[in-house]
A and B are shown apart, each in its own frame.
Chain A
Amino acid sequence: MAAYIARRLVWVVFLLFAITLITFILFSVLPAGDPAVARAGRQPSPELIESIRHQFGLDKPKPVQFINYIGDILPFVGHNGVYFGFSYTNNAEVLPQILDRLPTTIFLTAGAVVLWLAIGIPIGVISAVKTGSWLDRLSMGVALIFISAPVYFLGLVALYLFDDKIGKFPVLPGNSAYGQAHSFPEKAEALIMPWCVLAASFAAIYARFLRGNLIDTLQEDYIRTARAKGLSERRVVFRHGVRAAITPIVTLLGLDIGILLGGAILTETVFNIPGIGRYAYNAINVSDLPVIQGTVLFGAFFIVMMSLIVDILYAFIDPRVRY
């Protein structure tokens, strides 16, 4: 077990290094534009560009730049305490800007996760137990529609129908409401619509996934044994079936949470929620490469970390896994 965790940790360190290298190539080698010019603003003097180039080490060869870049993002090493560099647009430090927005993104993610598990798991179990029933067909049909609909289209439709200012049936705060909310209940209310929209497709994916797994599990010999020894159907399904069928969901859930924590960029964009995703979107619009780079690295970090946590967690919750 310890050896397994150690192997995973080495793998994670390697992955993080590879991600750092790729983002460096993406943002410092590939773009044809001169970053010093981009930072200098409108109509800069050649001297200003030169001084910026020197200040940020852009006059050094690329490998040296890469080593400096690693130094810039390593915790406790950082470039004079600055970690992800500075934004092109307002020269603000990128990392504090991201961290400021993290609670919003966590709040959005957490609410959506609770909602989609609460919807997806019961539907998946019922559909699997009553395979072929009208309930199963209906819920799987609806699930496929939600899987096929992009979240921004669902979001726009939800705003059009239910937004309290512009909607046809004004019931919920929607567009930009989170940024204007002050108290916690107001913020939670502002997120009801984004939560529902974000949770819809995930609930559909989880319901389909769990249904498939549970149907396969219920065909296993040990389920027949459990039935044969006279256990109640409820006990067979829940203690023997669902418990085994639900473990792969942990993997799915871990990765999805990792992706969303890195910025639910589409949802945050549609509802104008000031989280990490919206920050990245705004940066994309003005080609603010340091900010995009920061958010990409931050998001990649979450995904890699969540997959590490999932792998280790798996060893504990699934007694069948041996290392």
Chain B
Amino acid sequence: MSTGTGASDLLQAEDSGIDELVAGEGPVAARSPLQLFWRRFRKDKVALAAGTFIVLLVLVAIFAPLIRKVFDIPNPNDGNTAALDDFGLPSGPSSQHWFGVDDLGRDIFSRVLDGARVSLLVAFVGTGLSVLIGVTMGMIAGFYRGWVDTIIARLVDVLLAFPVLLLGLGLASACSTKDGCLGGALEPGLKVVITIIVIANWPYVARIIRGQVLSLREKEFVEASKSLGASNSRIIFREILPNLVAPIIVYATLFIPANILLEASLSFLGVGVQPPQASWGQMLSDASTIFQSAWWYMVFPGLALLFTVLAFNLVGDGMQDALNPKSSRSR
């Protein structure tokens, strides 16, 4: 009898011990892939710092007009001839013009702010549209398979084998003549740049998503959902799509810096964002004729571009590690 109670006491004790242990850890909650992803990501301090930088940059870009008003900074397209010397050479950084002025006496700080708006707008809209199209096409191809899949996969193959950037340069320059493209429907500037970004990016997204969907659709939870009588749209949006959110975010973050560089390069070559709208690439292009006497004209837009792209790359790397902890970078 006593041994029995002893055993049950022991059992009791063990149970309570386990209870305590579990209680010490807090309630066990099911973590979604997104939560797991976040828990790993926030350990990466460099990526977190870069992420903070991006958030600040986005705020600065959004509130650029307000910042100009508060600090009494001239408008990006207002030339101040008083800031040019007798030979028409621009003056460097001063209390009045923090980053100096360009060859037309325009405030470079103000133009760098405006450049941030353009860069981020093009990168976010371009990447967003590419992801939207790529995910849609990839999911259709991967889920329905059959002839739809064949057509989309072939199209992706062709586009990926294509020198899309070169043809993008062609499109941009063909549309940069004064008459524009398609009878004026596709004007030079932001629209052309975003079009090129979308054409260049969506095939990559579609291929990645198609591969993921092909494997996800064979998983048990999809089968279970199907056997419970779920419709295709329910399976696609409620079962498969949530599992794609993390990879979509990661790839979007990796595409953004590449797209910022692409916009800057097209603008540098004169076929991207059109003057007088300020953009970092175009400022570097303008600076290339007078950089030996006006270093500030080249340095500030260049550094803005470098830091922005670097920050996105750092966040992208951190996200990739967090998504795929066994990947080579995290070891």
Contacts and interface: CB of A to CB of B under 8 A. Distances in A.
Interface of A: 11, 15, 18-19, 22-23, 26-27, 30-33, 38, 131-132, 144-145, 147-150, 152-153, 156-157, 159-160, 163, 166, 211-213, 215-216, 258-259, 262, 265-266, 269-270, 280-281, 283-285, 287, 289, 292-293, 296, 299-300, 303-304, 307
B261 interface: yes
A304 B161 CA distance: 7
A30 B158 contact: no
Nearest to B292: A166
Contact of A23 (B158, B170, B261): B170
B28 interface: no
A182 B216 CA distance: 62
A131 B328 CA distance: 10
Given A31-B177, A284-B173, A156 B331 contact: no
A139 to B, nearest CB: 14
Closest 7 CB pairs of A and B: A32-B179, A153-B302, A215-B328, A148-B310, A33-B179, A148-B309, A166-B292
A30 B174 contact: yes
A160 B290 CA distance: 10
Contacts of A303: 163, 166
Given A131-B331, A150-B261, A22 B306 contact: no
B169 A296 contact: yes
B92 interface: no
Contact of A22 (B167, B268, B281): B167
Given A144-B313, A160-B295, A284-B271, A153 B331 contact: no
B302 A296 contact: no
Given A144-B313, A211-B328, A156 B287 contact: yes
B122 interface: no
A284 B270 contact: yes
B181 interface: yes
A272 B204 CA distance: 34
Contacts, number: 156
Interface stretch (B34-42, B133-141, B182-190): B182-190
Nearest to A14: B158
A292 B173 contact: yes
Nearest to A284: B173
A148 B166 contact: no
B246 interface: no
12 contacts: A30-B171, A30-B182, A32-B179, A148-B310, A150-B264, A150-B284, A156-B284, A157-B299, A159-B291, A259-B165, A262-B166, A300-B162
Nearest to B182: A30
Contacts of B291: 156, 159-160
A216 B326 CA distance: 10
B150 to A, nearest CB: 15
A134 to B, nearest CB: 15
Contacts of A132: 331
B261 A284 contact: no
Given A26-B174, A157-B298, A148 B163 contact: no
A265 B268 CA distance: 11
Interface string B264-287: 110011110000000001001101
Contact of B177 (A163, A262, A280, A287): A287
Interface string B295-320: 10011001001100110011001000
B169 to A, nearest CB: 7
Interface in B141-198: 158, 161-163, 165-167, 169-171, 173-184, 186
Contacts of A157: 298-299, 302
B16 interface: no
Nearest to B293: A166
Given A152-B288, A156-B298, A292-B173, A31 B181 contact: yes
Contacts of A149: 302, 305-306, 309
A307 B182 contact: no
A280 B181 CA distance: 20
A212 B328 contact: yes
A266 B181 contact: no
Contacts of B165: 259
B163 A262 contact: yes
A269 B265 CA distance: 11
A149 B292 CA distance: 20
Contacts of B270: 284-285
Max chain B CB contacts within 10 Å: which of A31, A131, A159, A266? A31
Contacts of A262: 163, 166
Given A152-B268, A153-B306, A156-B284, A33 B177 contact: yes
B329 interface: yes
Contact of A26 (B170, B178, B268, B314): B170
B257 interface: yes
Contact of B180 (A19, A32, A163): A32
Contacts of A211: 328
Given A212-B329, A262-B166, A265-B269, 15 more contacts: A23-B170, A27-B174, A30-B182, A31-B174, A31-B175, A32-B182, A38-B177, A144-B313, A150-B284, A150-B306, A159-B291, A215-B328, A216-B328, A284-B173, A285-B270
B169 A269 contact: no
Contacts of B178: 33, 287
A23 B313 contact: no
B292 A289 contact: no
Given A30-B186, A149-B306, A150-B264, A307 B170 contact: no
Given A26-B167, A144-B313, A287 B173 contact: yes
